[in-house]
Homo-oligomer: A and B are copies of this chain.
Amino acid sequence: MSFKVSLTALLIAFPFAAVLGFVLSFWRFPGHWFVVTLNNTMLAIPTVVIGLILVLLLSRSGPFGDLRLLFTQPAMIIGQILICFPLLVAMMHMAYQGVSRHAWETARSLGCSRLKALWLITLEVRFAVLAALVTAFGRVIAEVGCAMMVGGNIAGYTRTITTSIALETTKGEYVQGIALGIVLLVLALVLNLLVGVTRGRSIQGASQ
């Protein structure tokens, strides 16, 4: 459950974040620093605030109340997209910044379309991209404030492992909480091992 929501959010947010990160690192345009600063500021928004805003927007008396999304999984996905987007942008920006401009020029010189060249360059930094995805995944899966507020932590419906942990701790059931934490950890470990396997041989060591 937790995983499905988080992965969906991640997959939706990633392409946009990648393109924005690319534009930020390969293009200078007026307002560039502004976008970067804004994005960095967004990173510091507590998830509860995002949750709060979403609740206000999606609540029946809010502007999008008619969609009846509050306390459903789609609402949680929206929340998680908002949470991981700035992080993904920051990390993809950083990733692309590690690529020399020559890479882009070479790709274009060799007759690649813009999209193809973007793809090639993303492959150049594939380990950084993986790291960005893993980090963002960690952030959304571990996030509790927004998930609680927007999902409502309804048993069997919008309750995730993380919100369960939060619940157990307010009950004083520490052991239960830690047990759930371990479950989450094991799942994350498995996922990371899978990622690690696909990384293949050249993961280690700085490029060149």
Interface residues of A (CB under 8 A from B): 24-28, 32-33, 36-37, 40-49, 51-53, 55-56, 86-87, 90-91, 93-102, 104, 125, 127-128, 131-132, 134-135, 137-139, 141-145, 149, 162, 165-166, 169, 174, 177-178, 181, 184-185, 188-189, 192-193, 195-196, 199, 203-208
Interface pairs (29), CB distance under 8 Å: A24-B204, A26-B205, A40-B192, A40-B195, A41-B185, A41-B188, A44-B137, A44-B184, A45-B181, A45-B185, A46-B142, A47-B144, A48-B181, A49-B177, A52-B165, A52-B177, A90-B131, A94-B95, A94-B131, A97-B206, A97-B207, A98-B99, A98-B128, A100-B206, A100-B207, A100-B208, A101-B208, A104-B206, A144-B145
Complex Cα gap A151–B32 (Å): 38
Q: Which residues of B contact A196 (CB under 8 A)?
A: 33, 36-37
Complex: A160 Cα to B56 Cα, angstroms: 23
Q: Is the CB of B91 within 8 A of A53?
A: no
B25 adjacent to A181 (CB under 8 Å): no
New A-B pairs, 17, CB < 8 Å, besides A44-B137, A45-B188, A49-B181: A33-B196, A33-B204, A40-B131, A40-B138, A41-B188, A44-B141, A45-B138, A47-B144, A48-B177, A49-B184, A52-B169, A56-B174, A86-B138, A91-B91, A97-B98, A98-B128, A100-B206
User: What's the nearest-Cβ distance from chain B to residue A190, in Å?
Assistant: 9
- Structural contact, A44 and B145, CB atoms closer than 8 A: no
Contact A204 B28 (CB under 8 A): yes
Contact call A43/B90, Cβ cutoff below 8 A: no
A interface SS class? helix
CB contacts (< 8 Å) of A86 on chain B: these are 138
Number of copies: 2
